Amino acid sequence: QKEVEQNSGPLSVPEGAIASLNCTYSDRVSQSFFWYRQYSGKSPELIMSIYSNGDKEDGRFTAQLNKASQYVSLLIRDSQPSDSATYLCAVNGPDDMRFGAGTRLTVKP
């Protein structure tokens, strides 16, 4: 049984700060990793995908992957109140995609 672990939060940061979200996974076969953002009552939307070790940057978002440690993270720079949402870590296996429980982020003005 694959497991994807996230701190449920809530994580609260002031506007303009860096928000750091972490995720660990247990299935060594996993090759693809994703971060989704979900607003209350809405479907998840894809923010970042990462496939190889290291950092991947896209605007204010940076995903980091360490396959040896089975660890993936998301950094949000210059956090904005509109970033307040639940962030889901997702790990892709050969048959399905598993999600973490999500971390609730609140960015305070």
Partner 1 sequence: GAVVSQHPSRVICKSGTSVKIECRSLDFQATTMFWYRQFPKQSLMLMATSNEGSKATYEQGVEKDKFLINHASLTLSTLTVTSAHPEDSSFYICSARGQGAFLFNEKLFFGSGTQLSVL
What residues line the site for partner 1 (CB under 8 A)?
32, 34, 41-46, 49, 51, 88, 90, 92, 95-102
Reading the block at residue 94, the tokens are 């050969």
CB of 76 to partner 1, least distance (A): 19
Q: Of 95 and 109, which has the nearer Cβ to partner 1?
A: 95
CB of 104 to partner 1, least distance (A): 8
Phi, psi values for residue 96, rounded to 5°: -155, 180
Q: Of 79 and 86, which has the nearer Cβ to partner 1?
A: 86
Closest CA to 87 of 27, 79, 1, 29: 79
Q: How far apart are CA 98 and CA 88, in angstroms?
A: 10
Q: Of 17 and 101, which has the nearer Cβ to partner 1?
A: 101
CB of 45 to partner 1, least distance (A): 7
Q: 42 and 36 in contact (C-beta within 8 Å)?
A: no
